[in-house]
Amino acid sequence: MKQSHVFRSGLLGLSFILLVVALYLIFIYVPTEKTMGIVQRIFYFHVPVAWVAFLAFFIVFLGSILYLWKRQSKWDVIASSSAEVGIVFTTLVLITGSIWAKPIWGVWWTWDARLTTSLVLWLIYVAYLIVRSYATEEQRGARFAAIVGIVGFIDVPIVALAITLWRTQHPGPVIFQGGLAPPMLLTLLVCLAAFTTLYCLLLIQRVSMKNDEGEIKRLKELCSWGCD
Amino acid sequence: MEGTSPASQAWAIQVQGLTKSFGNHLALRGIDLEVRQGEFVVIFGPNGAGKTTLIKVLATIMNPSSGRVLVNGLNLKNNAEEIRRRIGVVTHQTFLYGNLTTYENLEFYSRMYDVPRLKERIHEVVSMVGMTSRLYDRVGTLSRGMQQRLSIARSLLHKPAIMLLDEPEMGLDQPAISMLWKALEIEGEGKRTIILTTNNLERGFELGDCLLILDKGKIVYQRSTQALDLADLKQAYQHSTRLEHELLA
Amino acid sequence: MSFWRNVIAITWKDALSQMRTKELVSSVLVFTLLVIVIFNFAFGASQETMRLVAPGILWVTFAFAGVLSLNHSFILEKEEGCLEGLMVCPISREVIYVGKMLGSLLFMLIIEAIALPIFAFLFNLILSLQLVVITVLTTVGFVAVGTLFSALAVNTRAREMVLPILFLPIVVPIIICAVRASGLALSGEPWGSLSSWLQIIGAFDVIFLVVSFLIFAFVIEE
């Protein structure tokens, strides 16, 4: 128990430091981009958050496979926690995309390839969470969600491919393109590290909360049957 | 030892340490059971005791969480399809398609079970349950009692050695119940092994060779009918379902 | 092989059931036509505009009709525990998947075979072999994934709502490709320009036939 506490506190500290450094880099260190101006800085939020959204779904995928294979609830706990954190990050992708689009293109939404794929990912996350809550029993919900997690993850590359092909035929406003100067690359990498660490922290917190909830349920169940 | 060694052939069903959990809920908590070929086992128990879960596991509809189940010497885990060939299942749901006729329903199941000489067999089982006149009627137009009789006909198509019956009387009136039991009394095809779950103590006592009481996922009482009379059984039932007991000697 | 014999038995049983209750075929058909007509009023524009939006209208219609028919597939099995009846038969779980999938495929192809000529008539378009191929390929994708989700959705509360929420996001890629390819087909483009879209639909079909085949057992077994 103590070990995990130390680990978690360490992770919290690391996460905090990285985020502070990232903020510094984004707002103070990195030079302003010439065509888009200050708004471009949102790029350093948007891309890492999108990366995490997809990483989270990959974890959902792995957890789902392991759950169906081993039938141990710990894998389902990891999968569902990752889905909850993941949908938050996916929402942030959509929001940051929107914040970028408005000043540059004058519209709240562009059917940009990455943004659109993120929207579909968001819908798949929603499907995952809805299936859990609409199942008649908890264990069924976990099993059904695992199936959605597996099918959904396999679907995402195909979605990305189809949407990208669609957009190349009908080009429209694109969010980010082009190469990166060294200071921009550095900033981006640090932000990637910061948000990934944040994801890990949130995931672990959520997993331990769910484990505690599960433990309480198990104890309640034992007591209602009369302790053996 | 799996496979069909002579020793295991004598046992129709062997259950060792069977548990079944649904998330945090333990429906079956370590069932040990041995049923001989040709034996008629009746399982009583209050609602939620796990009777239906046990039948579903034996019928290969549900997977055990742990433990071993052998049916005719075959392991449930590896030989589920083979096992299904040898069991007939009747529950309070009839497994019949309402907008197909009696004949079409039975034809479908005959195909699924690879029943030889399909037409003949269908006529045979239908007359066993006294439903020949309704052969070409849609099942949805039949009364509940008739549908349940038909369900028994369905389960007998492939001449199963083992019958699993989960509260087949549910929702039927008295005349229908009598017809139901008449349909099950079919001999002449060898003595079947039957496992029946019911809430009806009198009927179970009348029919069974061996009686079990299941409560909260455990067998709390097991006796052969010969060693018992109805009053004892009733007392035992009230006693064991109010408190939790270990297996009585 | 007994696998295919049993599959055909299940598909035939479904087909028989549908022929009996003509309600399903006719109601999905009427629904399909209504959606096409309503879209027509919604856009109510020039011949030129309608040409442009026609493929989109077609595929939205087929997607919704697909949801209706897929939903029905396992609702049929829920009554009187028929799905358990199938699970008790000496067949593998995969036989059930393929049997039901082919049943839904047959049903949807019949609906589409009737709806497409009517659609061409209302929009003054020419049907071509290309359009037929696109329709068949995309429908296979619909039923590959839809059968899996239908079996799942029927075991939830609010089953009519759960299926579209699961199904529609997953089939987004083939809807996009079908719409694009249909647009090209209706403009009389050669097969070459359709190929990249058809390849994606084809890949989707193969991938999800295999994936659904493999995980179907997990949906129906506790």
Q: What are the boundaries of each domain within chain A?
A: 41-210
Identify residue B178 by its one-letter amino acid code.
S
Closest CA to B84 of B76, B92, B73, B94: B76
| Domain with C202 in it | 2-220
Q: Distance, in angstroms, between B216 CA and closest chain A CA? A: 8
What pLDDT band is residue B9 in, cutting at 50, 70 and 90?
A: low
The CA distance from B106 to B150, in Å, is 9
**Mean of per-residue pLDDT scores for chain B:** 85
Q: Check residue A30 and give its pLDDT.
A: 73
**Residue among A137, A225, A226 minimizing CB distance to B23:** A137
Q: What is the pLDDT of residue A1?
A: 57
- Tell me, what's the ipTM? 0.91
A165 CB within 8 Å of a chain C CB: yes
Mean pLDDT in order along chain C per 10 residues (222 residues): 92 91 83 85 78 90 92 90 95 96 95 91 87 96 97 91 95 96 90 92 97 96 88
Q: CA-CA distance, A52 to A203, in Å (whole number)?
A: 12
At A113-143, the pLDDT tens digits run: 888 999 999 999 999 999 999 988 888 999 9
Query: From edge to edge, which strands make up the β-sheet containing B74-75?
Result: B25-36, B11-22, B66-71, B74-75
> Is residue C188 left, alpha or beta, with left meaning phi > 0 and alpha meaning psi from -120 to 50?
left
Name every chain C residue with its beta carbon within 8 A of the beta carbon of B60: 87-88
Q: Is the pLDDT of residue B244 over 50?
A: no
pTM for the predicted model, two decimal places: 0.90
Say yes or no to pLDDT of B238 above 50: yes
Flag whether pLDDT at B249 surpasses 50. no
The neighbour count for residue B88, using CB atoms within 10 Å, is 24
Chain C CB contacts of A162 under 8 Å are: 172-174, 176-177, 200
Cross-strand bridge partners of residue B166:
B197
CA of B238 to nearest chain C CA: how many angstroms apart? 32
Angle at C158 between CA C153 and CA C159, to 5 degrees: 25
Q: What is the distance between the alpha carbons of residues A61 and B177, in angstroms, rounded to a whole number?
A: 51
Domains of chain B by start residue, with CATH: 36-61+84-242 (3.40.50.300)
CA distance A60 to chain B (A): 19
Total count of domains within chain C: 1
> Are the C-beta atoms of residues C216 and C143 closer than 8 Å to each other?
no
Tokens encoding B13? 């069903």
Hey, how many other C-beta atoms are within 10 angstroms of the C-beta on A37? 11
Residues lower than pLDDT 70 in chain A: 1-2, 34, 36, 170-179, 225-228
Residue B80 has a CB neighbour count (10 Å cut-off) of 19
Query: What pLDDT is attached to residue A227?
Result: 54
